[in-house]
Amino acid sequence: METRKVQVTGGSTYTVSLPKGWATENGVGGGSVVEFYPEDDSLILSPRREEEKVEGTLDITGLEGDELTRAVVTMYVSGFDIITLETARVDAAKRRTIREATQGLVGLEVIGETSERVQLQDLLDSSELSMHNAITRMRLVATTMLADAVTALLEDDDDLAADVVQRDDDVDRLWSMVSRVFRSVLRDPGAAATVGLDRETCFDYHSSARQLERIGDHAAKIATHAQTLSAPPDDAADAIVALHEEATEIVDQAMNALLENDPEQATELANDARERVTEIDALARQVDDRIHELEPQAVQLLGLVVDSLSRSADYGGNIAETALQKAAPSP
C-alpha cells in the first residue's frame, strides 16, 4: 500500500499524485484521462480505456456433450465478448452441442464457422442487462415451476410435468446472465456504474439468484418424479400442498425483503422468513406419516418430492439471510 498527501491548489482544487509504478503499468501518462467511481466513502480510480470487445480462444479438442456445453457457458460467464472455439475438425456433433449451448445463453450468437473453429459473440450491450429484472424474473419462473410441478404430481399431468422440466432452461439462462454481469462488475468498476448497482448489491443479487436457480432445479426434479408417480392419496396430497405453500411463501417473503429499500421493513420480513423455515420439518413429517403405507417405490419418490420442497424452503431462508446482510448498517 502506498499513501499520498492531498494538496490544495488554487485555493479550491484538491490534487493527489499517482504512484509512478501503477501509472506506468497501466499506460497512464501526461494527458491521459482517468475515471473516478464514488462508492460511499471510497473513490475508485481507473484509466479510461477504449471500449473493445474482449476476445478469448479455447481449444475444444476432446470435449463432447456436457463438457463442451460447460466450456461454452464458462467462457460466456467469464466475460468474453467474442469466443473462438478451435479444434482440428469441428464435427457435426460438436456444432450441434455448441449451437444448443449458445441458444441457452442471453445475447450469445454464432457469428462464424469453419471446419476448424466456431466463433461466438455476445451481441448485447451490458447496459441492456438488468440484474434486478433478471432476479425478479427468476423468482417468478422458479416459484411458478414449483407450483406447476406440485400440480402435475397431484393431478397426474405428465404434459405439465414435461413443461416444467423444459422451463428449467429459462432459469439457467437468467442465472448465467446474472453471473456474467456480476463477474464484469468485479473486474471493472465502470461496469457497476453501467448496471446502476453498487458492487455489494450485485453480490447480494448474485447470491440470491444462485438460490433461485437451485429452486428451479428442485422444481424440475419434482416434475420428473411426477412423470413416474401416480397421484397420491388425498390426505398425503393435502400435506404436500401445505408444505409447498409454506415453502413458496418463505421464498416470496425472503425476496420481498431482498428487494425492499426500507432497511427496517426488510429486516422484519427477512427475520419472519427465517423463523418460518423452522416449521418446515414438522410439515415434512406430516407428509412422511401419510405415505408410509404406500408401495415402497412411491414412498421413496414422494420422499424425494418432500426433500425438494424442504430444500426450496431452505434456499428461501438463505435469501432471507442475504436480505438481512443487505439491510444491515454499513460499517
Which residues are bridge partners to 41 per DSSP? none
| Same domain, yes or no: 181 and 271 | yes
Number of structural domains (the chain) is 3
pLDDT digits (tens, 9 = 90+) for 223-239: 999 999 988 888 889 99
Could you tell me if residue 12 is inside a domain?
yes
Domain boundary among 103, 122, 141: 122
pLDDT digits (tens, 9 = 90+) for 266-322: 999 999 999 999 989 899 988 888 888 788 888 899 999 999 999 999 999 999 999
Nearest-angstrom CA–CA distance, 143 and 256: 13
Could you tell me if residue 37 is inside a domain?
yes
CB 250, CB 317: distance < 8 Å = yes
Could you tell me if residue 2 is inside a domain?
no
Pairing of strands 42-47, 55-59: unpaired
pLDDT of residue 6: 72
| Same domain, yes or no: 216 and 253 | yes
pLDDT digits (tens, 9 = 90+) for 242-272: 999 999 999 999 999 999 999 999 999 999 9
| Same domain, yes or no: 199 and 298 | yes
Bin 200: left if φ > 0, else alpha if -120 < ψ < 50, else beta.
alpha
Domain boundary among 122, 140, 165: 122
Q: Residue 189 belongs to a domain with what CATH number?
A: 1.20.58.220
| Same domain, yes or no: 115 and 140 | no
Q: Residue 82 belongs to a domain with what CATH number?
A: 3.30.110
Nearest-angstrom CA–CA distance, 227 and 316: 26
Could you tell me if residue 18 is inside a domain?
yes
pLDDT digits (tens, 9 = 90+) for 277-286: 998 989 998 8
| Same domain, yes or no: 160 and 26 | no
- Note down the domain range covering 73: 55-122
Could you tell me if residue 270 is inside a domain?
yes
| Same domain, yes or no: 61 and 153 | no
| Same domain, yes or no: 286 and 165 | yes
Is the pTM above the cut of 0.75? yes
**Residue owning grid cell 494527458:** 31
pLDDT digits (tens, 9 = 90+) for 33-85: 766 766 666 667 667 666 667 899 999 999 999 999 999 999 999 989 999 99
| Same domain, yes or no: 267 and 152 | yes
- CA nearest to 68, candidates 92, 39, 32, 44: 92
